Amino acid sequence: MTKSGLKVGFIGLGIMGAPMAANLQAAGHVMFVWARGKVPAALADNGATVCTSAAEVAKRADFIITMLPDTPQVDEVLFGAGGVAEGLKAAGGAGKVVIDMSSISPMATKDFAARINKLGADYIDAPVSGGEVGAKAASLTIMCGGPEAAFERATPLFQAMGKNITLVGGNGDGQTTKVANQIIVALNIEAVAEALLFASKAGADPAKVRQALMGGFAASRILEVHGERMIKRTFNPGFRIELHQKDLNLALQGAKTLGVSLPHTASAAQLMQSCAAHGLGGADHSALCRSLEMMANHTIAPDAAG
């Protein structure tokens, strides 16, 4: 443990949270952790203090990070019984920074920030992109919204977890950026799926079509990674359809509030809904192609079993 290590609390130690916390620990920060489930043994074995509640984390840490599935869980951990707000009240919030790295509602985020600010603490929304691979490799893209001074104080923590770190603006802007990211990703997955399905149905080899397209203007990271998944039928999750559904629902809810139309986001959301209805909610979001394949009665490539 380095003497310069910051006192960091981490709440939510799932597929993403556990490796993110491990990277903070490896960077020499003093860790205080809590999760509803089991805390990974490696964190405790390497010196992390396992707390009995989110409130205890907030009392003992100067930076409190949450990494949770959705808006209701963040609300509960921050403001429910035994939550972060309770700990801030007991210890005094001055000088503390609450950092939510979950992907949740931008509208709710602004409310959460205001309530945390009233307790004397700063708030940063800092959702991430990069999935489990990025979390393990400390190469996440981190999109931040909050006060510049708090962001600068928290930057060493972000640098331990990610590579592309941007302060976009005030509270809520980080979550807005993440929603925008998920719109782009979903529509690119849909575009790649439609293109490869068209090519396959027309009798062309989809693998060779993908190879040819990777050398042209249609090249993209989605075509590279998820196009390969569609062809090889490897839909084990890197990022689950049910989680992407949640993000697209945030986009559509926000669009309704803002009075804007997002027609193609809506269509991608419906395709994911079709996949979920067929038991594919836990599959990788590249499996969105399955909904199109079912409508066409044709698969981009043969399934492994067939």
User: Which sign, positive or negative, has the C-alpha torsion 231, 187, 246, 53?
Assistant: positive
CA distance 268 to 138: 29
Listed residue (137, 163, 105) closest to 16, CA to CA: 137
For 41-48, the CB contacts below 8 A with 24+ separation are 43/13, 43/18, 47/1, 48/21
Residue that the structure tokens 């380095």 belong to: 2
Catalytic residue check, 256: no
Pair type for strands 122-125 and 49-50: unpaired
- 3-state SS, 60-127, equals HCCEEEECCCCHHHHHHHHHCCCCHHHHHHHHCCCCCEEEECCCCCHHHHHHHHHHHHCCCCEEEECC
CA 261 to chain centre: 24
The Cα–Cα gap between 287 and 267 comes to 15
- Cα–Cα distance, 26 to 51 (Å, whole number): 19
Q: Which of 59, 96, 110, 178 is catalytic?
A: 178
Residue positions annotated with a catalytic role:
178
